[in-house]
Structures are given as structure tokens and as C-alpha cells.
Chain A
């Protein structure tokens, strides 16, 4: 196991050479794994060189009624997503979203305003099981791993003229940014990425919905 009794180590120069060989072997195997992942269906590997995605930031509106104190009860029915009454009522105070031709970063306070006003289509980019374990009420389940590589699904997705807010787990999660980039490529306008994502939504104590996507939601 730890070398046979009586068997010693080789000279230091050999050890150094062996260490270099170990590192090189590991590097080659790692690159090979990623190359194979790129060829798999659906392709899953990482980009060889990571590009820094710096999304423009949406101006946060003045904190008039923001904050956890302004929390409202969760919407009772999700058909209300398109309820023009609810929209008209809370439309004031919503920031204008410019069409920049690329996704825009949005913070929790802005997302909450759009949620309360039901003035945006909220999209969950996480895997389906994570969506079912808990998501923003009324959010559509559009996992990046599936929809991101399915041009038809991206095409079918119709926000009906509303802005789109994409989120995922938050923190280091990049599913939302990736899905938002695909949505913009597919011609969708005014796509926001909710940077804090699920983690910050849940931490703020905002309404939560569990279980599979309601029928007819997508």
C-alpha cells in the first residue's frame, strides 16, 4: 500500500520529475473531460476561457415603499399574472426598463416591485427539482440546462410584451445570466437578471410557492 517494505524513494530529481508528471497527467485528464463534455448531447462542458459577463445595472428606484416592511400578501391565483387591474394599481413607481439588446442586472427591491405589480414575467432558470422545492410564486420553470439548448423552447416562450426577470440560486449561480443571454439572442426584449436570486428572495421572507409548475402557466 504505502510502498513495499524495503522499497525506498528515488532521488529528489526523480521526485520532481514525478511531481511534474502527476500535474501534467491531471491537467490533460481535466481538459479531456471538458472536451468530451462539449461533444456530449446536450453539450455541457465549460467554456475554455471564461468571459467576464458584465451586465449593465438597472437604476434602483427611490426606496419609497421598498424594504421588507412593505411586504404584501402572496397573490392567491396565478392567473393574476396578467390581471390588468393589479397592474394598473401598482404600475406607478416601476422603473423604466430600456431595451439595450442585452440582459440588465436587477436587485431584489426592483424585482419585488415588479412582482407586486405583476408587471413582469418571472422565470426560474434552475433545474426543475430545485424549482419544485420552492420558487417565486407565479414564476415559470425554464431550466437553463434544458431550455438554454432548445431554440424551439426559447422561441415558444412569449412574455406578452412584459419585461422578463430571470433568476437562479443567487451567489455564484450563473444559470440566470446564461439563460438571459439566450433569451436576448432569441429576440426577447427587456430581459432582467435578478442577481440575488432565490437565496436573497427567500432570505427577505418574501412569498414562496412550492411544487410543480401550475398547468397552463407556460
Chain B
């Protein structure tokens, strides 16, 4: 395990993870950002946030994803972007898990209306995998030169 951990801490691996999770977040954000009303409906499906906050969530969440995705893909404050994706992926995973356990059946809305995949074990596994990628992306890259 420690060898796996060592590999996952390699700077090229961390950078690749940042690109991957950044691209996923960008795609997810762009699919949702143009239609907040549709996304609001999907937020409502989760029955997780209080109803009064659903619109506020629906209008801001895609933009947070967008900015985090951009920071990762462009490599500007990449670790901060990765930290945001870790937090969001943890939140999304909990949201999907609770919906699944409560027997709710609806489209996840993860990629807006472009993606018709539904809540279930597969979606949960997908979320856990992305959470792992986000965690690797959040590993601190040490400067190779001092004072650089």
C-alpha cells in the first residue's frame, strides 16, 4: 500500500489527476451552467437541501465547478482547485448515496440534462472513483528548486 501511495504522490501522477478531475468538472459545469432552471429541478430531486435554498444552490454550484475546473486545467492555484473538487465530490457522493438508500429513482443531473444516467450503485461507484482522483489531485506538489 505504501508503494501505491508513493506512486500516487509522484508529481506527474498528481498533475494527470488534476487534468482529469479538472476536465470532468469543466464538462459537468458547462452542461449545467446554461440552464439553471433544469438543474434546480434536479437539485430538488435529491430532497437533501431545504427547499428555500434549492435555487441558490442551482445557480451557484455550476459556477463553482467551472472555476474549480478551470483552475485545475490551467494549473493556476491547482491545489486549491483540487481541494474544492475533493469537497464537492464528497458532497455529491453523500447525496447520491442517501438518494439511493432512500430508494429515490431519478436522473442524477450530474452532467445537467445531457446525461440520463440514474441514481444507483453504478453512479455511486463512479462518484467514489472521481473522489479518489480528486484526492490524488489534492496532493501537494513540492517545489523542485528551493526559492523557485
Contact = CB atoms under 8 A, between A and B. Distances in A.
A217 interface: no
Interface of B: 14-16, 18-19, 33, 36-37, 40-42, 44-45, 51-56, 58-68, 71, 73-75, 77-81, 83-84, 87, 106, 140-145, 148
Interface in A1-60: 1-10, 12, 14-19, 21-23, 25-27, 29-31, 33-34, 37, 44-52
A179 to B, nearest CB: 14
A31 B67 contact: no
Contacts, number: 138
Q: Which of B14, B64, B75, B79 has the most CB of A within 10 A?
A: B79
A47 B60 contact: no
Contact of A2 (B16, B51, B67): B16
Contacts of B40: 46, 50
A26 to B, nearest CB: 3
Given A1-B19, A2-B19, A3-B78, A22 B64 contact: yes
A171 interface: yes
Nearest to A172: B41
A34 to B, nearest CB: 5
A143 to B, nearest CB: 14
A130 interface: no
Nearest to B81: A22
Nearest to B71: A22
Contacts of B83: 15-16, 18-19
B38 to A, nearest CB: 9
B80 A46 contact: no
